[in-house]
Amino acid sequence: MARKKIIAGNWKMNMTPTEAVALVNELKPLVVNDEVDVVFCVPAIDIIPAMKAAEGTNINIGAENMYYEEKGAFTGEISPNMLVDAGVKYVIIGHSERREYFAETDETVNKKVLKAFEHDLTPIICCGESLTQREQGITIDWIRQQIKIAFLNVTADQAKTAVIAYEPIWAIGTGKVATTEQAQEVCAAIRVCIGEIYDEATAEAVRIQYGGSVSASSAAELFAQADIDGGLVGGASLKPDFGKIVNYK
């Protein structure tokens, strides 16, 4: 059975609640596509207004982050229960910016992944290498380590529902895009790694996105690859062009 494409926008730290509603309303008619799961991952303060604006459409609202505890003295954090109660279905975990600026590690990513599954949230698990790591020729080794730790103690049934986003750090927000061959090579290696951890059926079920300056012009070629099941889109998800990415065919 063919995997359904999933195209998610990562709004990062952009859009006030008022701006978020306006953007959802602008993009609503542009992202209609029953063949693709469409997700807007928005700042926490935008989740509820964006959810209301997207009611009755094919747009799912996701979160950009989540903590791995249920509640408590964790000032500024968002719990899984809060996301579930707001109607969230997807949550980005382990984005490179979270790792770089907020000291997230492979171990905390794993804790968040386990907590997301515990609450029936679909994690969009990010992995990716720096330019130095690519130049050193350790890209695949690095990615495999990230994946193996992220999926520690995750069951096969849980893993089948996960989304993995491969984002070469050197291509995020730089305008640089990994070649189609580079993107496919790493996404294929991720699928092989999942197959080694679990089995072929699990590996075939997992959806793997490419992220890193995905544009309307690059989407069709990227998404046509055997192991690329959509994209995690940054800057372009804040513009009408996101509709062209969702309707890439």
15-40 tens-digit pLDDT: 999 999 999 999 999 999 999 999 99
H-helix segments, the chain: 17-27, 47-53, 80-86, 96-102, 106-118, 131-135, 139-150, 156-161, 180-197, 200-205, 219-223, 241-246
Closest by Cα among 184, 179, 136 to 192: 184
Angle at CA of residue 56, ends 53 and 61, nearest 5°: 55
Residue 95 backbone class (left: φ over 0; alpha: ψ -120 to 50; beta: rest): beta
> How much is the pTM?
0.96
Residue 142 CB: number of other CB atoms within 10 A?
17
User: How far is residue 115's CA from residue 224's CA, in Å, rounded to a whole number?
Assistant: 32
CATH number at residue 13: 3.20.20.70
Residue 34 CB: number of other CB atoms within 10 A?
8
Into how many domains does the chain fold? 1
User: How far is residue 39's CA from residue 25's CA, in Å, rounded to a whole number?
Assistant: 14
Percent of residues, the chain, with pLDDT higher than 90:
92
pLDDT tens-digit profile of 72-87?
999 999 999 999 999 9
Annotated catalytic residues are 95, 167
Name the DSSP class of 32.
Answer: -
Residue 53 sits in which domain range? 5-246
